[in-house]
Amino acid sequence: MISTSDLQSALIQRFDQAVAALDAAPGFAKPARIQRVLDTARKLMFSEGGCEAVVARAEAIERSGLFLGSDWAAPQTLVPTLSRASLTAADANTVLIEAISELRLLAVARGRYRHDLMSAEQAHHYLTQILAINLALLFSPPDEAQRTRQGRLAELPRRVLQHLAAEIGYEHVVDELIAEIWRILQQRPIQTGPVRQMITQIAVCQSDPGIDLGTSGQGADRLISSLFGPTHGCREDPGLEVYQARLETMDTGTLQFEAGGFARAMHDTGLVSPYHPVLIRFLLHRSDHLLAEALGLSATGRDCLLCYRDLVQALIEAAVMPDTAQSVYGLALLLERGILYQQPLAPALWRQLGLELCPTVRNKLILAFGDRIEPTARLLEGVLCMLGQPLGVGQGNNPTCQSARALSMWAYNDPDYLLQMVTWAARDDEIIMHFEGQALSSRTSSGGVAAEAPIDLDPVSLIVVPHLDRIYAEMGRRCVDRPGDPHRWVNPEFHGWWSGRGFRINVDVASGRIHGLDDFLRHFYASYHPYYNGNQPLIHPQPAGIAVTDSSARFIGWHAITILRIGLDPTKIMRVYFYNPNNDSGQDWGDGVIVSTSGNGERHGEASLPFEQFASRLYIFHYDPLEHGELAGVSRAELERVSGFLRRSWGADRWPDALERSIPDHSA
């Protein structure tokens, strides 16, 4: 009789042989060898200790080429919310590759495999999200539908997730999930779908008597109630129709209590319960006072509501529904910003209310969001959210940071221009912009930086970004024969007149080497640091480019951000507050450079770093050449601290033998 250990050894040996054969195969022959690896991995992972054996061989598996040509080849781009579909797919190979990929990332998270594209912290963060999204698979056996679809393979996802949870710690899964939800909500993203899904998973697990979460999950009630029962009238989640009937029987005092409860929950979390629109629509024709209470408005918002009563009523009737609940938060913040007092805004929103969508845009919105409600209402929800939360725009899993930054900047600084862009894209399926006096059409411009049309975006970005992406690329092509970096000419034309015409870059475009660093840093300090620019606050947000690094300070790539303001934080440290369109601004960039999103004076949606640390990751910025700061006032010691951060990170392989110093040091 073969012992369990002998069987395990035989399975591991066969798996090692399959991986070695795949590794040795030439590129054209690899696809034929992959199936053997997957088949042996399946048997191995079903055996005792099999998942750990795969973890131990993670680097060899990846080196062999198992993930080449698939989405899993770039783990930094994987989307945790898609993992459930992969783990429950009918196709066995999809399940197996997803499982092996997750075990590979466990090796990275534990420091056993130093991955070129993902740090240990990033891998740990990703796996925490995987576990959170798949709590039902982790704690519950496969249901009948899953067993019918996958057969015996349905047990494999649970085995893999249990191994991940055992390594990361069961007691931390839900607690870390709750902390992660609050961290994301602090940034107030427009897209709340993933967060809602995670909260729903926690609620399901808490209500299942067969799932023992131990002492974990403390503090989840606040999140769950924000979606399913924010007030006394709906605390047991009775259903929308029942709640509507209850409203009909409430007196004024009870309605005010309901309005205050919804407003507190919404502004506390940034999430809107589907019950909230029911109350908003009920109060719309009954009481302006209670409507303002339900929106949680201050004096500014109340005044704006009363001045533009007809417009607000029309917006609520067209966009505020249980399926578009986040429109309530967008509308409330729009009123709080007071931007309706800008003369073009009200007429532009009336135009938006009557906008006829072209068939292409209608179909795209239905494809992305379904057909439960009219695409016009879905788009209007997106408009309200973007105008209310200009720093909540995300680029999704797409290389379109420039376009996302433009939308955010326009919503923040020039909202009527944003509405014009939405109108062109939604009605005409075309956007026309000008570059140095020449009209550029998104219809005639060739492809942009995104290989495929993005679909994981908010409604406004979904229809506008493809047009902006093509125009941005076309502007770059117009500059291809010019010396230096094309952003010098593209950014002011693409983003707006307020983008400074002065331009600095510390990288030689031809060689990729650091150059002119002293000149670059002195100009940045003189233009932006209050101690060197005459204490002049930044008037308009400015586009900038950063060199993104991972937690090991290794270079990842170039990224577009917006500098919003510079100021002292509560501890009197000078910080740069900026907008990052990458969906999650809180990141560890290595060498102690940890981007903060709360606790250091940040407003919702802002990221921040101490001035020196931010300067060390900056490689492009714009400034007004007519504003003269104190170039020579920056001390050599301060410049050396910044260059030290740079030398130890993305500049390590780009450092010239002798630093060019175009401006001598005249400081004391």
Which one, of 287, 262, 290, 289, lies nearest residue 277 by Cα? 262
Cβ atoms of 492 and 503 closer than 8 Å: no
d(CA 605, CA 609): 14
Cβ atoms 134, 161 nearer than 8 A = yes
Over 50: is that where the pLDDT of 666 sits? no
Q: Mind spelling out the 3-state secondary structure of 481-543?
A: CCCCCCHHHHHHHHHCCCCCCEEEECECCCCCCECCHHHHHHHHHHHHCCCCCCCCCCCCCEE
322, 312, 307: which is closest to 291 by C-alpha?
A: 312
Across residues 579-606, what is the average pLDDT? 90
pLDDT 10s digits, 117-143? 888 888 988 898 888 788 778 766 676
DSSP letter at 449 equals S
Tell me if residue 622 falls in helix, strand or coil.
strand
Going by C-alpha positions, the residue among 434, 425, 393, 431 that lies closest to residue 411 is 393
CA-closest candidate to residue 646, choices 630, 664, 659:
659
Tell me, what's the pLDDT at 599? 93
- For residue 357, the model assigns a pLDDT of 97
Higher pLDDT, 220 or 607: 607
Q: Which residues, including other chains, have CB under 8 Å from residue 649's CB and lie 6 or more apart?
A: 547, 549, 553, 554, 555, 589, 590, 591, 593, 616, 617
C-alpha distance from residue 340 to each of 307, 313, 350, 415, 614 (Å): 9, 14, 12, 10, 34
Alpha-carbon gap, residue 287 to 294, rounded angstroms = 11
Q: Per-residue pLDDT tens for 507-556?
A: 998 888 999 999 999 999 999 999 999 899 999 999 999 999 877 788 88
Burial (CB count within 10 angstroms: exposed 0-12, middle 13-18, buried 19+), residue 285? exposed
When pLDDT is cut at 50, 70 and 90, the band that residue 248 belongs to is: very high
Please tell me the pTM assigned to this model. Answer: 0.82
* SS3 (DSSP) at 295: helix
Instruction: Report, as an integer, the average pLDDT of 381-399.
Output: 93
Q: Residue 662, exposed/middle/buried by CB under 10 A (0-12, 13-18, 19+)?
A: exposed
Paired sense of beta strands 574-579 and 555-568, if any: antiparallel
Which three-class secondary structure state does DSSP give residue 631?
helix
pLDDT tens digits, 331-384: 999 999 999 999 999 999 999 999 999 999 999 999 999 999 999 999 999 999
Lowest mean pLDDT among 18-27, 85-94, 135-144, 573-582: 135-144
- Predicted local distance difference test score (pLDDT) of residue 212: 65
Minimum mean pLDDT among 263-277, 603-617, 620-634: which range?
620-634
Position 667 confidence tier, pLDDT thresholds 50, 70, 90: very low
The DSSP bridge partners found for residue 609 are 576
Helix (H), strand (E), coil (C) string for 336-370: HHCHHHCCCHHHHHHHHHCCCCCHHHHHHHHHHHC
Q: Is the pLDDT assigned to residue 460 strictly greater than 80?
A: yes
> Where is pLDDT greater, at 9 or 407?
407
Confidence tier at 658 by pLDDT (50, 70, 90): very low
Average pLDDT, the chain: 89
pLDDT at 661: 40
Whose CA is closest to 190, among 272, 123, 70, 313? 272
The amino acid at residue 517 is L
- In 3D space, the residue among 193, 206, 78, 236 whose CA is nearest the CA of residue 139 turns out to be 206
220 touches 212 (CB < 8 A): no
Between CA 359 and CA 351 the distance in angstroms is 18
Residue count of the chain: 668
Q: Which two tokens stand for residue 384?
A: 């309200």
Cβ 513 vs Cβ 654: under 8 Å: yes
| Alpha-carbon span 509 to 511, nearest angstrom | 6
- State which amino acid sits at residue 198: M
Q: Which residue has the tokens 């974990």?
A: 216
**84-90 contacts, C-beta under 8 A, 24 or more apart:** 84/133, 84/134, 84/137, 87/134, 87/137, 87/157, 87/160, 87/161, 88/137, 88/146, 88/149, 88/150, 88/154, 88/157, 89/150, 90/149, 90/150
Domain ranges of the chain: 4-168, 229-334, 342-478, 502-647
| Phi and psi angles of residue 555, each rounded to the nearest 5 degrees, phi first | -65, 135
